[in-house]
């Protein structure tokens, strides 16, 4: 049998998760963002690379070719720089904006919106050589080192596979012109980088899943930790018991003053008790004076018997009034008929007539 004070056999509570999040302990893969950026950047170059290269070539021909201008005034230089910045910015700003959007989306997707100003404060442990030595040679860093070596192997295998598939074209490069060779090298380089990026992205997703699993294992709680958290959130059980006792006494005291004013007590027969008062001169409908279940219901019945108040069993009526009517509120119109029958019986016991209820019913 596991040691209830040592083994983390309970899932983390929401309070525990929130505390860990506020301290920056979240599941996050450092490689997922870089791998996603690599795939996005290479994909953009594969789609828009020709346009970017054509723009740059055109700018170089325009500003570096032709006759040299040895004398230039401030206005002409400013105009040329403005034209260059607008031309380059028109292409590069959307690309850089898209990469920034990918970066933000990946990081927010991992940890959500998280602001930790405490992490910006100075911490002497971050520059403590002993603490740094422990971090360097920790088990997690050893595992990360092994995973890094594994990634290098995967990257090498993917690169070799990508280039090996192009061996026939590579062997025929001698038959091509210089421009064709350059275009092919750029094409195969981008294709290889994209395949490597996809492989790294898959490994990063696996790493993120592992970090999520590790986070859940680290946040698991022992029985003692669960008890201490419940005590800190809900307070000392003895204080809670005393508070409940005081609240119960207040309820009983209120019942002791309100039940004697009632005309009848409707029961279920032993679980529920509802004290009802009706004054046809001041009330449009009967009003619930007090209600309760269990011990409180017993108290209501006892006070009613001590004050010669009729106690009548009406199961459906008692359930409805207990569930839907608050103390001090009139009964709903749907219960007028049932309530009129009860009051008529009570008034007959007392030898009185029931005024006003007929019109309410």
All structural domains of the chain with their residue ranges? 28-63+72-220, 240-360
Other Cβ atoms less than 10 A from the Cβ of 146: the count is 10
Cα 290–chain centre separation: 42
- With b for 16 or more beta-carbon neighbours within 10 A and e for fewer, the 242-279 pattern comes to eeeeeeeeeeeeebeebbeebbbbbbbeeebbbbbbbe
Higher pLDDT, 132 or 171: 171
Verify cis geometry, omega within 30 degrees of 0, for the bond prior to 269: yes
pLDDT at residue 202, rounded to an integer: 92
What residues contact residue 215 under an 8 Å CB cut-off, 6+ apart? 20, 25, 26, 27
State the average pLDDT over residues 3-8.
Answer: 53
pLDDT in tens, 19-37: 777 777 787 888 888 899 9
| Residue 235 pLDDT exceeds 50 | yes
pLDDT tens figures, 104-129: 888 888 877 776 656 555 556 656 66
Rounded average pLDDT over 264-288: 86
| pLDDT value for 11 | 82
| Contact (CB, 8 A) for 52 and 91 | yes
Give the pLDDT confidence of 54-104 residue by residue, as tens digits.
888 887 777 777 665 655 677 777 887 888 888 888 888 888 889 899 888
The alpha-helical segments, DSSP class H, found in 166-273 are: 167-171, 178-219, 223-234, 237-258
Question: How many C-beta atoms lie closer than 10 Å to residue 203's C-beta?
Answer: 19
pLDDT for the residue numbered 226: 78
Q: What is the pLDDT of residue 1?
A: 38
Is the pLDDT score of 215 beyond 70? yes
Mean of per-residue pLDDT scores for the chain: 80
Q: CA-CA distance, 361 to 354, in Å (whole number)?
A: 12
SS3 328: coil
303: helix, strand or coil = helix
pLDDT tier at 157, thresholds 50, 70, 90 = very high
Report the distance separating Cα 318 and Cα 292, nearest Å. 10
Q: How far is CA 172 from CA 184, 190, 192, in A?
A: 11, 19, 19
How large is the average pLDDT for residues 200-227?
86
pLDDT of residue 131: 60
CATH number of 240-360: 3.40.1690.10
* Coil/strand/helix, residue 65: coil
Predicted pLDDT of residue 233: 67
């Amino acid at each position: 049998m596991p040691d209830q004070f040592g083994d983390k056999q309970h899932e983390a509570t929401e309070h525990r998760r929130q505390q860990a999040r506020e301290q920056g302990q979240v599941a996050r893969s450092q490689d997922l963002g870089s791998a996603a950026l690599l795939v996005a950047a290479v994909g953009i170059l594969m789609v828009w690379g020709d346009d970017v290269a054509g723009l740059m070539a055109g700018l170089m021909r325009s500003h570096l070719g032709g006759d040299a201008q040895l004398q230039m005034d401030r206005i002409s230089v400013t105009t040329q720089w403005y034209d260059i910045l607008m031309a380059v910015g028109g292409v590069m700003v959307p690309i850089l904006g898209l990469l920034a959007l990918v970066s933000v989306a990946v990081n927010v997707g991992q940890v959500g919106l998280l602001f930790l100003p405490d992490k910006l404060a100075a911490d002497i442990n971050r520059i403590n050589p002993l603490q740094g030595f422990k971090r360097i040679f920790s088990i997690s860093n050893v595992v990360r080192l092994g995973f890094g070596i594994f990634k290098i192997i995967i990257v090498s295998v993917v690169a070799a596979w990508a280039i090996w598939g192009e061996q026939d074209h590579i062997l025929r490069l001698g038959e091509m012109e210089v421009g064709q060779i350059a275009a092919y090298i750029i094409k195969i380089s981008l294709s290889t980088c994209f395949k490597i990026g996809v492989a790294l992205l898959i490994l990063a997703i696996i790493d993120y899943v592992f970090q999520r699993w590790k986070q859940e294992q680290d946040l698991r709680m022992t029985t003692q930790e669960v008890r201490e958290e419940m005590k800190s959130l809900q307070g000392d059980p003895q204080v809670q018991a005393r508070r409940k006792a005081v609240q119960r006494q207040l309820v009983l005291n209120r019942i002791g003053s309100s039940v004697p004013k009632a005309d009848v007590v409707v029961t279920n027969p032993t679980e529920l008790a509802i004290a009802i008062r009706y004054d046809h001169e001041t009330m449009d409908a009967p009003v619930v004076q007090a209600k309760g279940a269990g011990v409180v219901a017993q108290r209501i019945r006892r006070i009613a018997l001590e004050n010669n108040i009729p106690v009548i069993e009406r199961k459906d009526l008692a359930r409805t009034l207990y569930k839907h009517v608050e103390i001090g509120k009139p009964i709903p119109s749907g219960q007028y008929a049932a309530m009129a029958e009860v009051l008529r019986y009570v008034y007959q016991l007392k030898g009185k007539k029931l005024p006003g209820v007929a019109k309410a019913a």
